[in-house]
Structure 1
Amino acid sequence: MLSLIQLLDDEKCFEVVRELRWPGGVTCPHCHAPHVVKQGRDDTQRFRQRYRCLNCQRKFDDLTSTVFAGHHQPLRQWVACLYLMGLNLSNRQIAHELGLNEDDAQNMTRSLRQGVVDASTTPTLAGTVEIDEVYLVAGHKGQSDLVKKNLGLAVDDV
Structure 2
Amino acid sequence: MTTKSSTNPEIGILELIDPAKCYEFFREKKWPCGICCPKCTSNRVKKNGHKRNAPLCRNYKCNNCGCRFNDFTGTILARKHHPIRVWIVMLYLMGLNLSNRQIAAELDLNPDVAHRMTILLRSEIAARKPGCKVSGVVECDEVYVIAGHKGHPEKVRQKGRAPRCRALKGASGPRN
Q: Percent same amino acid among aligned pairs?
A: 41
Cα gap change, 1:119 to 1:35, in 2 (>3 Å): farther
- 5+ residue gaps, structure 2, are 1-9, 145-176
Query: Moved runs in structure 1, 4+ residues, more than 3 A?
Result: 121-125, 134-138
Q: 1:133 aligns with which of 132, 139, 142?
A: 139
- Tell me, in whole angstroms, the C-alpha distance in 2 between the residues paired with 1:105 and 1:9: 21
- 5+ residue gaps, structure 1, are 139-158
CA RMSD of aligned residues (A): 1.9
Q: 1:19 aligns with which of 19, 24, 28?
A: 28
- Tell me, in whole angstroms, the C-alpha distance in 2 between the residues paired with 1:52 and 1:79: 26
SS in 2 for 1:115: helix
TM-score by length of structure 2 reads: 0.70
**Bigger fraction of residues in helix:** 1
- Tell me, in whole angstroms, the C-alpha distance in 2 between the residues paired with 1:134 and 1:102: 39
SS in 2 for 1:76: helix
- Tell me, in whole angstroms, the C-alpha distance in 2 between the residues paired with 1:12 and 1:2: 19
Equivalence for 1:144: none
**1:42-61 alpha-carbon deviations (Å, 9 max, x no partner):** 11111111101122211111
- Aligned residue-pair number: 135
Query: RCO greater where, 1 or 2, for CA within 8 Å and sep 6 or more?
Result: 1
Q: 2:48 aligns with which of 34, 39, 53?
A: 39
Computing the radius of gyration over CA atoms, which structure comes out larger, 1 or 2? 2
The aligned runs of 1:1-158 (5 Å cut-off) are 1-122=10-131, 129-135=135-141
**1:77-133 alpha-carbon deviations (Å, 9 max, x no partner):** 1111111101100000000000000011001101111121232334567xxx31221
